Structure 1
Amino acid sequence: MVNGFDFTDLAPAGVLRGTDGEVIDGILEIADARFREVEDSLAEGNRLRAEAHASWRGGINYVSELVAVEGHAARPGLRAPQIGALHAIAAHWSLSKDPAIIVMPTGTGKTEVMLATLVPELRKGGVLPDEHAMMIDWPDQLFESASFKITVVHGENKYSFHECQLDLVEWTPAGNEFTFKLKAGSEVETVFKMTLVPEGEAQGLFYSIVRVEGPDVSIEAFNKTDLAVNFFATNPPLVRLADGSQLSGEILLKPREELAEVYDQELIAPLAWGDTLQNQESRWKDGALRPRSIQQKFIEHLEQGPSAFIIDDDDAGESADIVAIEDGEQTITVTLWHCKYSSGAAPGNRVKDLYEVCGQAQKSTKWTWNFPNLVAHLTERETKHRAGRPTRFVRGSLDRLVVLRKASRRKYVVFRVGIVQPGLSKAGIENDHLAILGSTSLFLRTLTNHPLVVISS
């Protein structure tokens, strides 16, 4: 930099060579100087250099948040921890394509960092992505706060987040609409339809949401109460697709690269299911234990292992069908198990069943972010939402779980997620089904550092 000019931005006219040089009174004197003009090839190289240099300007531009004296954001943008995390991700990807874990404290904005690593696409054509949907869930921003709270209101009744869930009802790849269901407790089910609106017909948003079936309910969140249809219009649910992308309203977030991965068939662990009724999933229904159900049979299998806690968390709002916790000297291992009944009479490879149970596995990852939050959820379920059970604890107790939560401050907590599907046959499983398992496994490895566990027939 000389007198305010950056000579890296100037094209050289030629090459000056000499045997010796000395600066005298600010003037460079060169002995035996010879000057040669730039050759055409060198000039072309310089042109390409200049073009490349110019192309990088503004190419990487993380806008930082500017906070006013009053405390509000005068300019929206990324906070310092988010910018630091994004640079760390970029540094990792420049050397490796392996999954990595970015550790960020609660409240620093993990969702925005995750979204910033994806490629956004605005769906202006009114058409859904041509991919199968794995799951639907509440919008991610609800979980950014350590003290998030959501309540579904129906008449005089209120249902906490711990007894509410969203489920896909119908999704057609490359269609223009899909339906989803809000379930609150065991009494309330309301179905909504989200339609993508073409650009020429859109008035503001490129999507619309209407209630098509069930009672009109309201949602309390963000310190206000509004009709559920209005809540979802401003906070659209998150739909995760089989290719690793996710749709929120009209915004499709796609991975920067193809993330295809085929699950290793040898990792699938078959069980002998004996007299299990493969069309019975829940172990507890209508106030009675079902001894030949899939969940009960798998719990009996877990009881032969080292789990200090085996918890039946089945029902709307669950973290998983079964939560198994091992308490080691230095490590607490939590496994969230998701069971799926068979839609056929005999074991097979039914892709619909596989999409559903893999979607449940992906949905449960929000409970792997924080062990105390999971314990708080299980406490709420045991004390207020047993749904007729004498207890949700098959092994262990709530008092012991609270003690373990306190001990977790001194231990390393590992989370795993598994699916249990006796309707899935390990023998002769097709590559398409291994790809579904592989996509889910890669997603789980990215978030938990552990692959999907698969139990089959």
Structure 2
Amino acid sequence: MAQSQGYFQEINFFPILEFDEEKGDISIATAAVEQLENDLKAGYNHRILVRTKDKRSADRLYNTIYHPHFSKYNPVLVHSDIPATDRTAAIRALRDGASRIVVCVDMFGEGIDIPSLKIAAVHDKYKSLPITLQFIGRFARSSEGLGAATVITNIANDKLNESLQELYAQDSDWNVLLHVLANREINKELSLQELAQGFDSALLHGMTIQQLRPKISMIAYSTNEKKWSPDAIYNVFDPDNCFITINNDSGIIVIVEKLDSNIDWTSFKGINNTNWHLHLIYWNPEIKMFFINSTNKSISDTIAEALFAQSIKINGENIFRCLYGIKRLMLGTIGLKSAIDGPIRFRMFAGIDIGNGIAESQKETSYKSNLFGVGYSGKGKVSIGCSYKGRIWSKWVESIDYWINWCNEIASRLQNEEINTSKIFEGALVPEIINERPSSVPYGIEWPIDLDLINDSSILISRGPNDYSIYELDIKLTTNSENGPIRFSVGNNIVSEEYELYISNEECEFKTIKANGLMLKRRKREYKLAEFFDEFPPRIKFVDQSMLEGNLLVRMTSTPPAFNLDRISTWDWSTVDIRKESQGMQHDKQSIQYHVIQSLIASDKYCVIFDDDDAGEIADIVSIVDAADRITIQFYHCKYAHGDNPGARVADLYEVCGQAEKSIKWCQEPPTIIDRLMKRESSRAQSGGTRFEIGNVRKLREIKNKMRIFPAKIEIFIVQPGIDSKAITDDMLRILSGTGSYLMDTYSIDLQIICS
């Protein structure tokens, strides 16, 4: 190791956190000069090297920041467009100490190799990781009396932060070499790096903790032991065939094991198969549990016995406690064992047979063997599987720190003695094949396979020579009746097609009833849209909270809780035509949307108010509040009234409730909200307009940077002035309770209603 042998010194990595990219450069420069002044006071004759991506950026930084603000240190500019005599004079001034700041593009190509250049102000990342390593390596070279080097950059910048993460993952040397000087917020961003620093990375022989991406799985054990014996792991694994590293402070052991095995088709000893196993052990003494994740399913008990004098594996019926609290659980498989008429038999249920599996599991002669399902935790989608033998798993592949947090969260359920596992299937969703359309009113429809979340051009709808991105189109119901045809359209104000779903004899078909030649392009394939829906049916939601995909119906097994009337607020709509929804490009002052926007502006608390109305919208209005340590994003779904005056029309709620439920998907990855808004603004700008009522693209970039550090809270509002708050019927409350329950179950969002 070059660092351990003294060739390199430790580097102080000084990250700053400036979310406004236009302020980031001055923040980096200010921090670099402060570091220079501190080093000079400490007796170190240091210089600053300002790193930027190109000559244009170098000129800008020199002329607008370093020369006007820090002329005390006589900054010099060096790049290939500067005359050779001036470059030579600048480098001489730098060597002599007449200048203490150099702004450059390529320090190597420009011949800048001055040992006292010990402060790097990195405004832009290098194009490749090897050059980044070479650059930082120059600063890390040891030289007596020079002191430690410092690298300063803005990790709120996506590209610079990606470069830093890539650097950490490249070589374990950098975990030792880069000493992070960070405040609380930045420590949160670099938590995985901090975890890695608790290990002796040399023992992984060049591999890093950040490079390990285990499948999320574990076997849990309880123990009352106050101490463990981590060194006993060497009695289980052969050190000659393993990389073993231990983080005693965090209670974690990582083993990477090499296993050679014979090949079936030859007895020649010189050829064999080489496999690698990963073993993770995590002990949390505070909850008296430890967890083992191993790609070798048979070794967990051996590891447990070596590390702890006493422990008990959690298995049997108690293992199914891990399913507790999962909302809208949709089981994919159920494995049962039974002892009817002789030996124990195993039966597996999947797909439309899940209902039979649940029924069988309730019989005294059956017991659960294993199962897997997906659902919601109130914080988003989850997947979970478990076996009575003790293993619990998810379909995710994640980092080690994610796995640790997941183990702790599952443990809280495993230890809950109040969970009754015999009732674990209550509320589970069961699919069934139907022969006719459901006798309920459809009120919402969504693209299949989450197409509406796509922000690039990988999915296109075309008509002739014209292509439309998926985010420029809407899919929406065109009929809302209890027994009539189920029809919907795809399109915008330029192109549109209408379709009908036919169901009979356990089969379904989508037919185009108003054709316009639309084609869908996906992964080098082209479909007529009706053919695409035959293969990937859209999801249709009904007022009884059942959901239909093709002819596969999932019914809710429980009644949603009553809607909280405190979440209904009334506004004054006396100046508004409640049958006019959108303000349009002309900002119609009588429209519902205009009235809402003006009310938000008057509150003076928003940094962004965005008119997203039109096909492909997230919501009619998206507003953002930028607080000190939290981002709040609000979706306002506006809908026109079906009458001239407020009343008790249930039809006023159908479409807008469907829109509110559809928008919940954006909670999966809040930064994609910002990406979508920027896409939408770019499209609007091409016609000479803007969607911003408050804010701009620069502010959106700042918000996106900040969302990487601070949590984003989503709030959803339905705006329907056609509802008379004093005349709401039971049917209307039934729809509101269904939508409210869906938002709460999935992402813990309280639906709010604004009406008359």
Q: What's the TM-score bracket when you normalise by the shorter of the two chains?
A: 0.7 to 0.9
What pairs with 1:206-221 in structure 2 (closer than 5 Å)?
206-221=507-522
Question: CA offset at residue 140 of structure 1?
Answer: 3.1
Cα drift, residue 172 of structure 1:
3.5
Helix, strand or coil for the counterpart of 2:708? helix
Shift of the 250–296 alpha-carbon distance from structure 1 to 2, 3 Å rule, reads same
C-alpha separation in 2, matches of 1:144 and 1:316: 14
Partner residue in 2 for 1:54 = 365
Structure 2 residue corresponding to 1:158, chosen from 467, 470, 487? 467
Report the CA distance between 1:319 and its aligned residue: 0.4
Greater relative CO (CA pairs within 8 A, separation 6+): 1
How far did residue 415 of structure 1 move? 0.7
How far off is 1:367 after superposition?
1.7
Taking only aligned residues, the RMSD between alpha carbons, in angstroms, comes to: 3.3
Determine the structure 2 residue equivalent to 1:81: 394
624, 629, 639: which one aligns with 1:325: 624
Could you tell which deviates more after superposition, 424-433 or 385-394? 385-394
Say which SS state the counterpart of residue 644 (structure 2) adopts.
coil
Change in 2 beyond 3 A, CA 1:352/1:279: same
Q: Does residue 234 of structure 1 match 2:535?
A: yes
Aligned residue for 1:179? 487
Instruction: Using the aligned pairs only, state the percent identity.
Output: 28
Q: Secondary structure at the match of 2:606?
A: coil
User: What is the TM-score normalised by the length of structure 1?
Assistant: 0.73
C-alpha contact (below 8 Å) 1:276/1:297 kept by paired residues: yes
- Residue of structure 2 equivalent to 1:268: 568
Paired residues of 1:163 and 1:385 also in contact (CA < 8 A):
no
Question: SS of 2:647's equivalent?
Answer: coil
Q: Quote the residue 2:555 is aligned against.
A: 254
Alignment CA distance shift 1:403-1:262 (3 Å): same
| Residue equivalent to 2:637 | 338
> Is 1:192–2:499 an aligned residue pair?
yes
Amino acid aligned to 2:472: E
Residues 238 and 247, structure 1, Cα contact 8 Å, conserved in 2: yes
Q: What do residues 178-207 of structure 1 show as CA deviations (whole Å, max 9, x unaligned)?
A: 111001x421010011100214xxxxxx10
Quick check: 1:119–1:253 contact (8 Å CA) kept in 2? yes
The 1:145–1:386 alpha-carbon spacing in structure 2 relative to 1, beyond 3 Å, is closer
The alpha carbon displacement at 1:169 in A equals 1.1
Is 2:726 the partner of 1:435?
Answer: no
**Per-residue CA distance 1:209-246 (angstroms, 9 max, x = gap):** 11110302100124422111111110111101223221
Measure, in 2, the Cα distance between the counterparts of 1:10 and 1:429.
55
Verify the 8 A CA contact 2:612 2:622 in the aligned structure 1: yes
What does 1:63-74 align with in structure 2 at a 5 Å threshold?
none
Distance 1:145 1:170, change over 3 A: closer
The answer to whether residue 658 in structure 2 is matched with residue 347 in structure 1 is: no
Tell which deviates more after alignment, 401-410 or 430-439: 430-439
Long gaps (5+) in structure 1: 1-7, 12-50, 64-78, 98-115, 200-205
Match of 2:698 in 1: 399
Q: 1:237 to 1:225 in 2, by over 3 A?
A: same
Q: TM-score of the superposition, structure 2-length normalised?
A: 0.45
CA distance in 2, matches of 1:56, 1:223: 47
Deviation at 1:263, TM superposition (A): 1.5
What is the DSSP-based 3-state SS (H/G/I as helix, E as strand, rest coil) of the residue aligned with 2:560?
Answer: coil
2:456–2:469 Cα contact (<8 Å) kept: no
Distance in 1 (CA, whole Å) between partners of 2:564 and 2:573 is 22
**In 1, Cα distance between equivalents of 2:754 and 2:419:** 31
Displacement of 1:96 in angstroms is 7.6
How far apart, in 2, do the equivalents of 1:341 and 1:232 lie? 29
Shift in Å, 1:288? 1.9
Contact 1:140/1:238 (8 A) holds in 2: no
Q: Secondary structure at the match of 1:289?
A: coil
For residues 117 and 145 of structure 1, what CA distance do their matches in structure 2 show? Answer: 29
2:448 counterpart (139, 145, 166)? 139
State how far apart, in whole Å, the 1-side matches of 2:699 and 2:494 are. 32
> Which ranges of structure 2 fall in alignment gaps of 5 or more residues?
1-337, 342-361, 374-391, 397-402, 421-426
Look up the match of 2:593. 295
DSSP-derived class of the 1:261 partner: coil
Q: Distance in 2 between matches of 1:219 and 1:231?
A: 8
**3-state SS in 1 of match to 2:678:** helix
Corresponding residue SS for 1:410: coil
Counterpart residue type for residue 465 of structure 2: E
| Higher percent of residues as helix | 2
* Residues 389 and 289 of structure 1: CA distance in aligned 2, closer, same or farther (over 3 Å): farther
Contact kept in structure 2, 1:321 and 1:338, CA below 8 Å: yes
The reply on whether 1:280 has 2:587 as its aligned counterpart is no
Distance in 2, Cα, partners of 1:349 & 1:171: 17
Aligned 8 A contact 2:479 2:488 in 1: yes
CA shift in 2, pair 1:52/1:231, >3 Å: closer
What is the CA-CA distance between 1:423 and the residue it aligns to? 0.7
CA-CA distance at 1:435 after TM superposition: 1.7
> Residue in 2 aligned with 1:453?
752
Match runs of 1:39-50 below 5 Å: none
**Which amino acid in 2 is paired with 1:194?**
L
1:153/1:220 contact within 8 Å kept: yes
In the TM superposition, residue 143 of structure 1 has moved relative to its aligned partner by: 6.5
Which residue identity does 1:120 align to in structure 2? P
Spell out, residue by residue over 1:392-424, the C-alpha distance to the aligned partner (whole angstroms, 9 max, x if none): 010111111111101111111011111111111
The equivalent residue for 1:374 is 673
- Could you give the per-residue CA deviations for residues 14-64 of structure 1, whole angstroms, max 9, x where no partner exists? xxxxxxxxxxxxxxxxxxxxxxxxxxxxxxxxxxxxx95531255x5339x
| Aligned AA (1:314) | D
Cα drift, residue 80 of structure 1 = 4.2
* Counterpart secondary structure, 2:637: strand
* Higher radius of gyration, 1 or 2: 2
- Please tell me whether the aligned partners of residues 454 and 470 of structure 2 are also in contact (alpha carbons under 8 angstroms): no
Deviations 1:270-312 (A, max 9, x none): 001121111111011xx42211110000111111221211000
Q: Paired residue for 2:602?
A: 304
